[in-house]
Chains A and B, each alone.
Chain A
């Protein structure tokens, strides 16, 4: 289930251009992240995939088939969608929320609920929450229900619009790890929208950095972007310019660990160095053994 944007453009009736000439191919079974500041058109682009927004020009194709030829309601039912603040139906129980799409597509209610219970297990939610209403759950739990709902009909494509934007950094960390685990298990073609570059680098195998108007500033793997920022804009956006990504080992060591600081002198993480020798992971630039979370996690 690959997705292709072909010279897509979106102009609103009032004359504002949200996206001008955007072309990208999203490979199947992996996660592509659209990252950029607000106003860069990332959500607009995401919503073109399930026809919540129709492009003014150009087209979006799923496995070579233009989505413009697919009836929107049918299209949406085969694409999972998770959004910020979960967007759960407040008048339906957790279980019925998860069972939403299967019920819409005609699965008998009892069977859909039975399967929804299994979905709760999959996203790490206790079954005792099944009969609660969304308003009775914490933000993190609601977001898990949102993911379970997005996956309930076993779609090939999963769209996620800043799904973890409104939860606190610790819960967000858990949810991100959970998503990585699910993605390893399920291998959905996932398109993820965020304004948080750390989140983009953590989750994306392909990262698309967007500028205002849906202009692609750079596209590539996190390692490629970090090692070779295509422009000052990208360098600035990923924090390279401010020295956030340029880490140096501090002399002062803590046991077998050596403290790493960024160019501004702020502690950024630790790296293990028994007897003062750095261990190279061998995985090259893909290594994630260095924790270099910046303060952006607290921006939401």
Chain B
């Protein structure tokens, strides 16, 4: 405990670095996945191609990807952007499926009725389909958030600082307290992110609180959460 108190500065700065690595892939992953998921919900050919690609991308081991990305992008191996790109790939791989399920969960009769009232196609998307896909999209983002925060620790293996640095350092020095500190910090960051996302969901979707989820949405939500440990 004394070690932790002595190194609070380090814990805080690595936490900020870690958050800095995680936020761009989570946000960008969402922005990229929504149109892809919408497309997948509209065309069964697109669905099978996108979801298969997502599954394959997700099976690439994290360490391999962190080493591969700089080669592909031509960036120095110590550039944090490599990690961001790798995490983004995983985020999209998970999120596309959630987004496809989210748009598929919008009841056909609601879409038809909105069309009959005179919503044009773009209005239908922004004002009806996207908000109604919201609960399942949110569930997907929460999984992506936890997964990304956990995965970002891999960065330490190639020498890019993150909360994972506590793992590598603690392991090399055979110092369990340091490893444990890193672990707790990762859990706290993940919990805080999840609280923020949950709060955003309640704020943006007040209608969802007072309403039981439609059965299709509930089904999409009850999918198993992908495993996130990637060492």
Residues of A within 8 A of B (CB): 47, 50, 52, 73-74, 76-77, 81, 83-92, 100-101, 104-105, 133, 135-136, 149, 159
Complex formed: what's the CA distance from A100 to B128 in Å?
Answer: 11
Residues of B within 8 A of A (CB): 109-110, 112-120, 123, 128, 131-132, 134, 205, 207-208, 210-212
Complex formed: what's the CA distance from A133 to B212 in Å?
Answer: 12
Task: Please state if B118 and A92 are interface contacts (CB–CB under 8 Å).
Answer: no
- Knowing A83-B112, A89-B110, A91-B131 are in contact, say whether A76-B117 is a contact too (CB < 8 A): yes
Q: Choose among A77, A89, A91, A136 the residue that contacts B118 (Cβ–Cβ < 8 A).
A: A77
- Knowing A90-B211, A91-B205 are in contact, say whether A104-B119 is a contact too (CB < 8 A): yes
Q: Which residues in B have their C-beta under 8 angstroms from that of A47?
A: 116
Task: Please state if A87 and B109 are interface contacts (CB–CB under 8 Å).
Answer: yes
Task: Please state if A135 and B109 are interface contacts (CB–CB under 8 Å).
Answer: no
- Knowing A89-B110, A91-B205 are in contact, say whether A52-B211 is a contact too (CB < 8 A): no
Task: Please state if B128 and A89 are interface contacts (CB–CB under 8 Å).
Answer: yes
Task: Please state if A133 and B113 are interface contacts (CB–CB under 8 Å).
Answer: no
- How near does chain A come to B98, taking the closest CB pair, in angstroms? 19
| Residue of A81, A84, A90, A149 most packed against chain B (CB within 10 A) | A90
Q: Which residues in A have their C-beta under 8 angstroms from that of B116?
A: 47, 50, 52, 76, 81, 83, 87, 159
Nearest A residue to B205 via CB reads A91
Nearest B residue to A150 via CB reads B117
Q: Choose among B118, B128, B211 the residue that contacts A101 (Cβ–Cβ < 8 A).
A: B118
Q: Which residues in B have their C-beta under 8 angstroms from that of A84?
A: 109
Q: Which residues in B have their C-beta under 8 angstroms from that of A87?
A: 109-110, 112-114, 116
Q: Which residues in B have their C-beta under 8 angstroms from that of A149?
A: 117
Complex formed: what's the CA distance from A89 to B126 in Å?
Answer: 13
Complex formed: what's the CA distance from A113 to B118 in Å?
Answer: 18
Complex formed: what's the CA distance from A186 to B39 in Å?
Answer: 43
Other than the given A77-B118, A89-B128, A90-B132, 4 more pairs (CB < 8 A) read A74-B118, A88-B110, A100-B117, A135-B207
Q: Is the interface of B mostly helix, strand, loop or mixed?
A: helix
Complex formed: what's the CA distance from A86 to B195 in Å?
Answer: 35
Q: Which 7 A-B pairs have the closest CB atoms?
A: A87-B113, A77-B118, A135-B211, A76-B118, A81-B116, A91-B207, A133-B207
Nearest B residue to A77 via CB reads B118
Q: Which residues in B have their C-beta under 8 angstroms from that of A74?
A: 118
Identify 11 residue pairs between A and B in the complex whose beta-carbon atoms are under 8 Å apart, listed by A's number. A73-B119, A83-B109, A85-B109, A87-B109, A89-B114, A89-B132, A90-B110, A90-B132, A100-B117, A133-B210, A149-B117
Task: Please state if A133 and B211 are interface contacts (CB–CB under 8 Å).
Answer: yes
- How near does chain B come to A157, taking the closest CB pair, in angstroms? 12
Complex formed: what's the CA distance from A136 to B211 in Å?
Answer: 7
Q: Which residues in A have their C-beta under 8 angstroms from that of B114?
A: 87, 89
- How near does chain A come to B200, taking the closest CB pair, in angstroms? 15
Complex formed: what's the CA distance from A50 to B116 in Å?
Answer: 7
- How near does chain B come to A256, taking the closest CB pair, in angstroms? 48
Nearest B residue to A92 via CB reads B207
Q: Which residues in A have their C-beta under 8 angstroms from that of B212?
A: 135
Q: Choose among A52, A89, A104, A136 the residue that contacts B210 (Cβ–Cβ < 8 A).
A: A136
- How near does chain B come to A107, taking the closest CB pair, in angstroms? 13
Complex formed: what's the CA distance from A52 to B118 in Å?
Answer: 10
Q: Which residues in A have their C-beta under 8 angstroms from that of B132?
A: 89-91
Nearest A residue to B204 via CB reads A91
Q: Which residues in A have their C-beta under 8 angstroms from that of B117?
A: 76-77, 81, 100-101, 104, 149
Q: Choose among B112, B123, B128, B208 the residue that contacts A52 (Cβ–Cβ < 8 A).
A: B112
| Residue of B118, B119, B211, B212 most packed against chain A (CB within 10 A) | B118
- How near does chain B come to A180, taking the closest CB pair, in angstroms? 23
Nearest B residue to A73 via CB reads B120
Q: Which residues in B have their C-beta under 8 angstroms from that of A105?
A: 118
Q: Which residues in A have their C-beta under 8 angstroms from that of B119?
A: 73, 104
Q: Which residues in A have their C-beta under 8 angstroms from that of B109?
A: 83-85, 87
Complex formed: what's the CA distance from A83 to B116 in Å?
Answer: 10
Nearest B residue to A76 via CB reads B118
- How near does chain B come to A110, taking the closest CB pair, in angstroms? 18
Q: Which residues in B have their C-beta under 8 angstroms from that of A86?
A: 113
- How near does chain A come to B109, taking the closest CB pair, in angstroms? 5
Complex formed: what's the CA distance from A249 to B179 in Å?
Answer: 93
Complex formed: what's the CA distance from A268 to B118 in Å?
Answer: 44
Task: Please state if A81 and B211 are interface contacts (CB–CB under 8 Å).
Answer: no
Q: Which residues in A have their C-beta under 8 angstroms from that of B123?
A: 104
Complex formed: what's the CA distance from A86 to B107 in Å?
Answer: 12
Nearest B residue to A100 via CB reads B117
Q: Which residues in A have their C-beta under 8 angstroms from that of B128?
A: 89
